[in-house]
């Protein structure tokens, strides 16, 4: 079992930045690829980006490529999502998730999920 806890959400103006963090507890963190997803009101949950278990490889949704960066620290059991140049359409609840698969871009490929953190971008 892996328990994931996100933090760092909040309200930011368009063009601003936020950094989300996800702390993992339980099984060996470095065994898992990590992903970030988001869900806006009335919309389906969508893949934002992911990072391989060793942190060597990353992939991103086209909508965030060049603006968002995922990193991880396996010594601290954390994964982060740095979000720059935020847009109102980035407003959503953001989730981190853990998967034994790589590349995993679909939510049913992920085994463990955090509770989510709200990000609101005002125009």
Residue closest to 95 by CA, chosen among 3, 4, 2:
4
Q: Measured between alpha carbons, how far is 23 from 81 in angstroms, rounded to an integer?
A: 12
Q: Lowest-confidence range among 10-19, 21-30, 67-76, 86-95?
A: 21-30
Whether 119 contacts 89, CB under 8 Å: no
Could you tell me the CA-to-CA distances from 37 to 14, 48, 77, 81 in Å, in that order?
A: 20, 5, 19, 11
Render pLDDT for 25-63 as a digit per residue (tens, 0 to 9).
987 999 999 999 999 999 999 999 999 999 999 999 999
Count of beta carbons in the 10 Å neighbourhood of residue 110: 23
pLDDT score at 27: 79
Whether 79 contacts 89, CB under 8 Å: no
- Predicted confidence band of residue 94 (pLDDT cuts 50, 70, 90): very high
pLDDT score at 103: 86
For residues 30, 24, 107 and 116, what is the CA-based torsion angle, rounded to 10 degrees?
A: -160
């Amino acid at each position: 079992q892996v328990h994931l806890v996100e933090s760092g959400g909040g309200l930011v103006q368009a063009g601003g930045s936020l950094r989300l963090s996800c702390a993992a507890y339980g099984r060996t963190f470095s065994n898992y690829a990590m992903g970030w997803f988001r869900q806006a009101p009335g919309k389906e949950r969508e893949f934002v980006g992911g990072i391989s278990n060793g942190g060597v490889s990353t992939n991103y949704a086209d909508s965030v490529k060049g603006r968002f960066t995922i990193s991880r620290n396996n010594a601290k059991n954390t994964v982060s999502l740095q979000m720059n140049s935020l847009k109102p359409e980035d407003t959503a609840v953001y989730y981190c998730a853990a998967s034994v698969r790589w590349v995993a871009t679909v939510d049913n490929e992920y085994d463990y999920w955090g509770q989510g953190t709200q990000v609101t971008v005002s125009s």
